[in-house]
Amino acid sequence: MTEHLKIKVDAGVMEITWNRPDKKNALTNDMYRGAAEALEKASADKSIRVVLLTSEGDSFTAGNDLSVFAAANAGTSNEAPQGNRWITTISKFDKPLVAGVRGVAIGVGMTMLLHCDLVYVANDAKLSVPFVNLALVPEAASSILLPQRIGYARAFAMFALGEPITGAQAQHDGIANVCLPADEVIPAAREAAKKLAQRPLGALMATKALMRPPQVMLDQIKTESVYFADRLRSAEAAEAFAAFREKRKPDFSKV
């Protein structure tokens, strides 16, 4: 188990905490794998009734660690884009999942929230899905989940322009349930998780199963993966990663 993930269980609630605060909790393969295994355990273990997802430090997560993307683009790795296991596991997770989000939630850090059942955010959190900045495409079924949640035009703007929205805006748009001052977010999310843990788990699981049958999302994730893999190796992505490394503005006009 990686030190970059903390997992504890208390009174029926499993708390999974991103714990790489010096890197804004950017997600590594070890963190993805550990979190996916924790969800699988939570699903199988009758004593665990709810999972709470949160973070150490001032960020929720900056998303996928860019070194993984860059390696795939450079051809120095033959791995499929990592995080897929996490994404499919969270899509299928069958018990209530609560998130407490402060600071930035970027890329998969934002799209995983679309798979949570209750979302608590800091008023000044910053949520963004800047896949297009890197010449990539949305993942985690967010290409259908985000338009469903906030309407096509707003979703297109978030994807195409890559600009963040605040937690307050996310609450207004229905991405989050509740927005609060940053220091109240984790306690409130923990309280909500405890409350859910006292409710009838069978009824909650059946309700979730009726509301979000996983197959539609898993199919979309598969489709997105094809585009994503193709994009990772594109000339546009090469330009995006080069510009990132060289700390300059990318120029997509020639590629």
Half-sphere exposure of 45 (CA within 13 A, CB side): 15
Q: Determine how many CB atoms are found less than 10 A away from the CB of residue 242.
A: 15
Phi then psi dihedrals of residue 5, to 5 deg: -140, 135
Under rule CB under 8 A, how many of the chain's residues touch a second copy? Answer: 67
156 binds a second copy (CB under 8 A): yes
136 binds a second copy (CB under 8 A): yes
232 binds a second copy (CB under 8 A): no
Residue of 1, 80, 229, 255 that binds a second copy (CB under 8 A): 255
137 binds a second copy (CB under 8 A): yes
Phi then psi dihedrals of residue 47, to 5 deg: -80, -15
206 binds a second copy (CB under 8 A): yes
174 binds a second copy (CB under 8 A): yes
Q: Which residues contact 39 (CB under 8 A, 6 or more apart)?
A: 16, 51, 89, 90, 93
Q: How far apart are CA 18 and CA 28, in angstroms?
A: 11
| Min separation Cβ 154 and a second copy, Å | 5
Residue of 154, 184, 218, 242 that binds a second copy (CB under 8 A): 154
Residue of 27, 90, 189, 196 that binds a second copy (CB under 8 A): 196
Residue 32 to residues 36, 63, 102, 172, 185: CA-CA distances in angstroms?
6, 11, 19, 29, 23
Which residue lies nearer to a second copy by CB, 1 or 209? 209
Which residue lies nearer to a second copy by CB, 62 or 121? 121
* 248 Ramachandran zone, left/alpha/beta (phi>0; psi -120 to 50): beta
Residue of 44, 46, 78, 211 that binds a second copy (CB under 8 A): 211
Q: How far apart are CA 237 and CA 255, in angstroms?
A: 10
Which residue lies nearer to a second copy by CB, 39 or 237? 237
Beta strand pairing call for 126-128 and 104-106:
parallel
236 binds a second copy (CB under 8 A): yes
The position carrying tokens 């033959």 is 78
Token digits for 183?
């220091």
Binding mask 17-56 for a second copy (x = CB under 8 A): ----------------------------------------
**Rule CB under 8 A: which residues touch a second copy?**
12, 96, 114, 116-119, 131-132, 134-138, 143-145, 147-157, 159-161, 173-177, 195-196, 198-204, 206-212, 220, 223-224, 227, 230-231, 234, 236-237, 239-240, 250, 252-253, 255
